[in-house]
Protein backbone atom coordinates (compact mmCIF):
# COMPACT_ATOMS: atom_id res chain seq x y z
CA UNK A 1 0.00 0.00 0.00
CA UNK A 2 2.79 2.46 0.85
CA UNK A 3 4.67 1.34 -2.26
CA UNK A 4 1.58 2.08 -4.35
CA UNK A 5 1.32 5.57 -2.86
CA UNK A 6 5.00 6.26 -3.54
CA UNK A 7 4.73 4.91 -7.10
CA UNK A 8 1.67 7.01 -7.88
CA UNK A 9 3.16 10.17 -6.38
CA UNK A 10 6.43 9.68 -8.30
CA UNK A 11 4.58 8.96 -11.56
CA UNK A 12 2.15 11.86 -11.35
CA UNK A 13 4.16 14.69 -9.77
CA UNK A 14 6.84 16.11 -12.01
CA UNK A 15 9.01 17.91 -9.46
CA UNK A 16 8.97 15.75 -6.35
CA UNK A 17 11.94 16.12 -4.01
CA UNK A 18 11.10 13.49 -1.45
CA UNK A 19 8.60 11.42 0.48
CA UNK A 20 8.86 10.77 4.22
CA UNK A 21 6.65 8.30 6.07
CA UNK A 22 5.87 9.53 9.57
CA UNK A 23 3.73 8.91 12.65
CA UNK A 24 2.73 5.48 13.99
CA UNK A 25 3.53 3.51 10.83
CA UNK A 26 7.06 4.96 10.72
CA UNK A 27 7.56 4.29 14.44
CA UNK A 28 6.40 0.71 14.05
CA UNK A 29 3.53 0.97 16.52
CA UNK A 30 0.62 1.19 14.08
CA UNK A 31 -2.46 -0.95 14.46
CA UNK A 32 -5.29 -1.80 12.06
CA UNK A 33 -6.97 1.55 12.70
CA UNK A 34 -3.84 3.62 12.08
CA UNK A 35 -3.72 5.89 9.09
CA UNK A 36 -0.69 6.18 6.83
CA UNK A 37 0.93 9.61 7.07
CA UNK A 38 3.37 10.85 4.43
CA UNK A 39 5.16 14.14 3.96
CA UNK A 40 5.74 15.09 0.32
CA UNK A 41 8.23 17.79 -0.72
CA UNK A 42 7.56 19.38 -4.11
CA UNK A 43 8.50 22.34 -6.28
CA UNK A 44 6.00 25.06 -7.01
CA UNK A 45 3.57 26.80 -4.73
CA UNK A 46 2.05 24.90 -1.87
CA UNK A 47 -1.53 25.45 -3.04
CA UNK A 48 -0.99 24.04 -6.53
CA UNK A 49 1.28 21.30 -5.23
CA UNK A 50 -1.42 19.84 -2.98
CA UNK A 51 -4.00 18.99 -5.63
CA UNK A 52 -2.44 15.89 -7.22
CA UNK A 53 -1.35 14.18 -3.97
CA UNK A 54 -4.79 14.72 -2.45
CA UNK A 55 -6.47 13.26 -5.56
CA UNK A 56 -4.17 10.22 -5.34
CA UNK A 57 -4.87 9.65 -1.65
CA UNK A 58 -8.62 9.98 -2.21
CA UNK A 59 -8.43 7.24 -4.83
CA UNK A 60 -6.22 5.01 -2.68
CA UNK A 61 -8.52 5.46 0.31
CA UNK A 62 -11.21 3.74 -1.78
CA UNK A 63 -8.95 0.82 -2.78
CA UNK A 64 -8.44 -2.38 -0.86
CA UNK A 65 -5.00 -3.93 -0.31
CA UNK A 66 -5.01 -7.64 0.53
CA UNK A 67 -8.64 -7.25 1.57
CA UNK A 68 -7.99 -4.31 3.92
CA UNK A 69 -8.61 -0.61 3.47
CA UNK A 70 -6.20 2.01 4.71
CA UNK A 71 -6.56 5.74 5.12
CA UNK A 72 -3.77 7.81 3.65
CA UNK A 73 -2.97 11.34 4.81
CA UNK A 74 -0.47 13.39 2.84
CA UNK A 75 1.16 16.60 4.06
CA UNK A 76 2.41 18.47 0.99
CA UNK A 77 4.92 21.30 1.31
CA UNK A 78 6.86 23.26 -1.25
CA UNK A 79 10.60 23.77 -0.88
CA UNK A 80 9.95 27.45 -0.18
CA UNK A 81 7.35 26.81 2.53
CA UNK A 82 9.72 24.42 4.33
CA UNK A 83 12.42 27.07 4.27
CA UNK A 84 10.04 29.57 5.91
CA UNK A 85 8.11 27.33 8.29
CA UNK A 86 10.31 24.27 8.59
CA UNK A 87 10.42 24.20 12.38
CA UNK A 88 6.95 22.63 12.44
CA UNK A 89 8.38 19.72 10.39
CA UNK A 90 11.19 18.99 12.82
CA UNK A 91 9.60 15.82 14.21
CA UNK A 92 8.81 14.46 10.75
CA UNK A 93 12.40 14.95 9.62
CA UNK A 94 13.97 13.53 12.78
CA UNK A 95 11.71 10.50 13.35
CA UNK A 96 10.22 9.75 9.91
CA UNK A 97 11.38 7.16 7.41
CA UNK A 98 12.61 8.65 4.13
CA UNK A 99 11.10 6.70 1.24
CA UNK A 100 12.44 8.81 -1.62
CA UNK A 101 15.04 11.53 -1.37
CA UNK A 102 16.96 14.19 -3.24
CA UNK A 103 19.77 16.60 -2.47
CA UNK A 104 17.12 19.24 -1.71
CA UNK A 105 15.33 17.06 0.86
CA UNK A 106 18.61 16.03 2.47
CA UNK A 107 19.66 19.67 2.81
CA UNK A 108 16.31 20.67 4.35
CA UNK A 109 16.39 17.71 6.77
CA UNK A 110 19.79 18.90 7.97
CA UNK A 111 18.72 22.56 8.27
CA UNK A 112 15.34 22.21 9.97
CA UNK A 113 16.28 20.43 13.23
CA UNK A 114 18.99 23.00 13.93
CA UNK A 115 17.25 26.18 12.83
CA UNK A 116 17.28 27.59 16.35
CA UNK A 117 13.63 27.14 17.35
Q: Please give, one letter per residue, the 3-state secondary structure of the chain.
A: CHHHHHHHHHHHCCCEEEEEEECHHHHCCCCCCCCEEEEEEECCCHHHHHHHHHHHHHHHHHCCECCECCCEEEEEEEHHHHHHHHHHHHHHHHHCEEEECCHHHHHHHHHHHHCCC
Mind listing the pLDDT tens digit for each residue in 56-102?
998 888 876 666 667 899 999 999 888 887 778 988 998 999 999 99
Q: Look at residue 47 in the predicted model and tell me its pLDDT.
A: 65
Amino acid sequence: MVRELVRRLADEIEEIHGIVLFSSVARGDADRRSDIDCFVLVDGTQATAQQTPHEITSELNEDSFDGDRYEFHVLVESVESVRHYGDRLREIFTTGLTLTTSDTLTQLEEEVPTNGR
